Amino acid sequence: MGQIIDDEQITMLVQGAGVEAVIPILEAYWESNDELTAALEKGISAESPTDIAATAHGLKGSSANLGAMLVADRAKEIELAAKSGDLNMVRELFQKLPKDIAETRTAFDAIIESAAA
């Protein structure tokens, strides 16, 4: 796995839009993240590689758009494992996702706090 976040991408967003504008964007991302994670879990429970791949693709895109590279990379791995039909690998990768999300949230929070100071 690579970096947690693309510091430059989120910093440019904060500088361009301002902290007050970025906070709701991040809140919407976390809400979407929760929904997509729940949908992934549902797809895994249903053993539906098609649903898993589609959901992971959405998570990958939304994460990459904000520079949440760790989550985007993990979602890509889940998507590829689902497309190959390897549900055991999907489950293994999904187990790592909560830690990735927590690390990403911490990294984003640090940038927002620093910009707000």
Q: Which residue type sits at 74? A: R
Q: What is the pLDDT of residue 74?
A: 98
**Mean pLDDT in residue range 41-56:** 98
> Within a 10 A sphere around the Cβ of 117, how many other Cβ atoms?
6
- What is the architecture, at CATH level 2, of domain 7-116? Up-down Bundle (1.20)
Average pLDDT, the chain: 94
48: left (phi over 0), alpha (psi -120 to 50) or beta: beta
pLDDT in tens, 61-111: 999 999 999 999 999 999 999 999 999 999 999 999 999 999 999 999 998
Q: What is the pLDDT of residue 9?
A: 87
**Mean pLDDT in residue range 2-21:** 88
Q: Is the pTM of this model over 0.85?
A: yes
Domain boundaries, the chain: 7-116
In a 3-state reduction of DSSP, which class is residue 25? helix
Burial code (b: 16+ CB inside 10 Å, e: under 16) for 55-75 equals: bbbbbbebbbebbbbbbbbbb
